Amino acid sequence: MNTADETQILDAIAKWLERDVRPKARELEKKDEYPEQMVAQMKALGLFGATIPQAYGGLGLPASTYAKIVAQISEVWMSLTGIFNSHLIMATAVARYGTGEQKEKFLPKFASGEVRGGLALTEPDCGTDLQAIRTRAVRDGKDYVVNGTKTWISNGIKGSCFALLVKTDPAAQPRHKGMSMFLAEKGKGFKVSKKLEKLGYKGIDSAELIFEDYRVPAANLIGGEEGKGFHHAIGGLELGRINVAARGVGVANAALKDAVAYAQVRKSFGKPICEHQAIQLKLGEMATRCEAARLLVESAARAYDAGERCDMEAGMAKYFASEAALENSIEAVRIHGGYGYSTEFNVERYYRDAPLLCIGEGTNEMQRIIIARQLIARNPA
């Protein structure tokens, strides 16, 4: 993608954010209301097809441009990025590993936003240790019959199709060889059992899903072959981690901008608080974190776009940028003093949204372990 095209897309999104999102985000967030109108606008902007190849009706954007879009939107309201991100990870699994028939059938509808959804990996008993999942799919004629429970599924209520990770052979060793991934469309036996209440990340629905003798056509087994589901799930998470890192850049920047603005107007002891060295130290650290996080995201996205192995780079970006968002948000709260604790200002929202970034798409504990393992693998003694 050339710079002019990228600038044009980023400009269109910036205008939409200022005109339609910023004025309404706080109210919707407070009510934890699904932003229907914004979702319609996101469809029109092509965001549900952002990384889907153009041949299937998507924008075919590289990860580097996509990451900039995610950071830009997260600077205004992070929740919106969740509505299309796990949806795009599902689409990436189809585009990379799906059969020709699956690509023809699903990708154009995913790209237009007509069919939206996400990823159903996590279960009540396990998230990090995905190979311990218990949701089971058993072949029965032209279908598989699925039983089990998934939790924390983003877009679980509003979405209609999910990349569903199951066990097709629970006895397989190593465990991942018994895992498969299906495109599961809502229907008989696929129930949303509850909406989950959260600290932040409001507006977007997170739900528990129950599968009771749910029949999914064998034609919806991604790639048409059992035993590849774990590989498909992990492959998609690289883009997912770049996305979470980009959200971190957005939230960290938002906290910095609000703090820089407030520190110039709030006065104590006869001068703006930005003239106190204690506040300057905070602003200096916050700005440095933003810049470092942005560069790490750019570097991971560049490696992803070049088709290079980038689990270490995506892990570093995800780890650093999410911690930057968390640290910047608490510093912004401190700089706002009592007003930082008030719902009249946005900084308390950043402080409620940021911790999710340290948990989702692989916790930051796991990211550091992934980085260390790669470090050793790439540098044998």
Q: Which of residues 47-86 bind ligand FAD (CB under 6 A)?
A: 86
Q: How far is the CB of 106 from ligand FAD (least distance, A)?
A: 18
Nearer to ligand FAD, 47 or 153 (CB): 153
Written as six digits, the tokens of 318 are: 């995800």
18: tokens are 């200022």
Query: If binding is defined by CB under 6 A, does position 182 make contact with ligand FAD?
Result: no
Give the phi and the psi of residue 4 in degrees, each rounded to 5: -65, -45
Please name which of 62, 46, 14 lies closest in space to residue 298, comparing C-alpha atoms: 62
Q: Which of the residues 29, 238, 331, 361 is marked catalytic?
A: 361
**Based on CB atoms, which residue is closest to ligand FAD, 152 or 350?**
152
Structure tokens at 378: 């790439």
What are the φ and ψ backbone dihedral angles of 198, each rounded to 5 degrees?
-135, 160
Shortest separation between residue 163's beta carbon and ligand FAD, angstroms? 9
Size of the site for ligand FAD (CB under 6 A): 22
* Cβ atoms of 317 and 361 closer than 8 Å: no
How far is residue 76's CA from residue 25's CA, in Å, rounded to a whole number? Answer: 8
- Does 363 interact with ligand FAD (rule: CB under 6 A)? yes
Which is nearest to 246 in space by CA: 170, 322, 333?
A: 322
Span 118-177, contacts to ligand FAD by CB under 6 A: 118-122, 126-128, 152-154
Do strands 143-154 and 206-217 pair parallel, antiparallel, or not at all (unpaired)? antiparallel
Site for ligand FAD in 104-123 (CB under 6 A): 118-122
Q: What three-state secondary structure class fits 101?
A: helix
> Which H or E run includes 293?
helix 277-305
Q: Which C-beta is closer to ligand FAD: that of 58 or that of 236?
A: 236
DSSP 125-164: TBSS-GGG---EEEEETTEEEEEEEEEEEETTTT--EEEE
- CB of 126 closer than 8 Å to CB of 133: yes
> In terms of CB distance, is 64 or 122 closer to ligand FAD?
122
Stretch that binds ligand FAD, among 16-24, 108-116, 297-305, 353-361 (CB under 6 A): 353-361
CB of 78 to ligand FAD, least distance (A): 11
Residues contacting residue 188 through CB under 8 Å, at least 6 positions apart: 214, 215
Among 10, 295, 366, 374, binds ligand FAD (CB under 6 A): 366
Closer of 223 and 360 to ligand FAD (Cβ): 360
| Shortest distance, position 198 Cβ to ligand FAD, whole Å | 6
225 catalytically annotated:
no
Closest to ligand FAD by CB, 340 vs 362, is: 362
Minimum Å gap between C-beta 302 and ligand FAD is 25
Structure tokens at 107: 């990708």
Scored b (16 or more CB within 10 A) or e, 26-57 reads eebbeeeebbeebbebbbebbbbbbbbeeebb
Binding of ligand FAD by 244 (CB under 6 A): no
Query: Which one of 244, 360, 367, 371 is in contact with ligand FAD (CB under 6 A)?
Result: 360
Comparing every residue's Cβ against ligand FAD, the nearest one is 127
Q: Tell the smallest beta-carbon distance from residue 299 to ligand FAD (Å).
A: 24
Gap between the Cα atoms of 261 and 289, Å rounded: 18
Residues 196-235 that bind ligand FAD (CB under 6 A): 198, 201, 206
Minimum distance of ligand FAD from residue 332's CB (angstroms): 21
Distance, in Å, from the CA atom of 140 to the CA atom of 293, rounded to the nearest integer, reads 49
Tokens 């650290």 found at: 285
Contact call for residue 264 and ligand FAD (CB under 6 A): no
Q: Which is nearer to ligand FAD, 243 or 346 (CB)?
A: 243
Q: Minimum CB separation from ligand FAD for residue 358, in Å?
A: 9
Closer residue to ligand FAD, CB minimum distance, 65 or 243: 243
Residues that are catalytic:
361
- Enumerate binding residues for ligand FAD (CB under 6 A): 86, 118-122, 126-128, 152-154, 198, 201, 206, 356, 359-360, 363, 365-366, 369
